[in-house]
Amino acid sequence: MSSSSVSIQALHTFGLPVFAERVISAETQEQLCDAWQQAAQEQRPAILLGEGSNMLFLEDFSGWIILNRIKGINVRESEDFWHLHVGAGENWHELVCYSLEQNFSGLENLALIPGCVGSSPIQNIGAYGVELKDVCEYVDVLNLSCGDTSRIAAEDCQFGYRESIFKHQFREGYAIVAVGLILPKVWKPVLSYGDLRQLDAQTVTPKAVFDSVCEMRSSKLPDPKVTGNAGSFFKNPIVSAETAARILASDPNAPHYPQPDGQEKLAAGWLIDTCRLKGHRIGGAAVHQQQALVLINLDNATPQDVTALAGYVRNQVAARFNVWLEPEVRFIGRTGERNAVEVLS
């Protein structure tokens, strides 16, 4: 086996001291395919990386990191909508800023979400009442083995809460190369979460929503350029109505959001905070003081520090509430992705 010799500390937002055997930057579909196929021929593990904002490397990666850097934004107009065709390598927040500058509304609730556009459908990213599925028209997927591209309509992407077909059927051997977004010309603000509730729906502008979202995120969430983190570490758990009722009986102020299927979504950050875990530290990793849902690289953390902390948080929440949190972050082992729950169990 070749030794892992290239630092990838700067290629993921946790900023952990890990290495890979090789790093390749691909700016075209052809380059993506060539790199993937060459790795396969040489029997090397390979993973695709955008900006590494949702990755936890558990150890050195004994294969190739292929960076998806396909850029470009094309705009088409129809009677009622703006249609944006966006390369997977574009930065998500910069796309939100661009859309507002062009007077395309609808992405403002999703401001300051880290990562690339190509990663957005995988998690069905969401914030402040809007999810990617609400603005997605299609996703273009490249079969890395043969070079064929398929366009998958949004309704076929199996979008759910932090869930999509790209975590399953199109997880291995495929690359998202572009995302199609559809933004209505007649804008309807979504003001159902946080400080957005204080805005007046009759007079509010997209820029005001954008500014409010940026202010909320900046006040609660650490900048990964300053403090290593991968954003929300755990998913908000969706539990039965009975489980929610049991928790509300002892904690009436627990945030809860009814789901269409009769279940309830709980706030993972509140569950962690209620266990008094803000600031809790293991080695160089800590629970963020302002937002308990975020684990941070406080002081030269190792992957072992982060996983130990994540396991501790998970166990403390389970002991108090009998609810098991699941990581939202993807766990990457020596040869590829691993099941995060199994790693922490």
CA 294, CA 16: separation in Å to the nearest integer?
15
Helix (H, G, I), strand (E, B) or coil at 259: coil
CA 66, CA 50: separation in Å to the nearest integer?
9
Element (H, E) at 61: strand 61-68
The C-alpha torsion from 232 through 234 and 235 to 239, rounded to 10°, is -140
What is the full DSSP assignment across 43-99?
T--EEEESS-TTEEE-S-EEEEEEEE----EEEEE-SSEEEEEEETTSBHHHHHHHH
Give the distance from CA 273 to its chain's centroid: 21
Tokens of 209: 């929503």
Asked whether the beta carbons of 331 and 295 are under 8 A apart, the reply is no
Pairing of strands 330-332, 55-57: parallel
CA 4, CA 63: separation in Å to the nearest integer?
8
Query: How would you list the strands of the sheet with 228-232, edge to edge?
Result: 228-232, 294-297, 285-287, 281-282
**Residues designated catalytic:** 162, 232, 328
> At 10, which amino acid appears?
A
Tokens of 313: 């948080």
Task: Using alpha carbons, select from 264, 262, 308 the residue that is nearest to residue 283.
Answer: 308
Q: Go through the chain and tell me how many residues it has.
A: 345
CA 296, CA 66: separation in Å to the nearest integer?
25
Element (H, E) at 184: strand 174-184
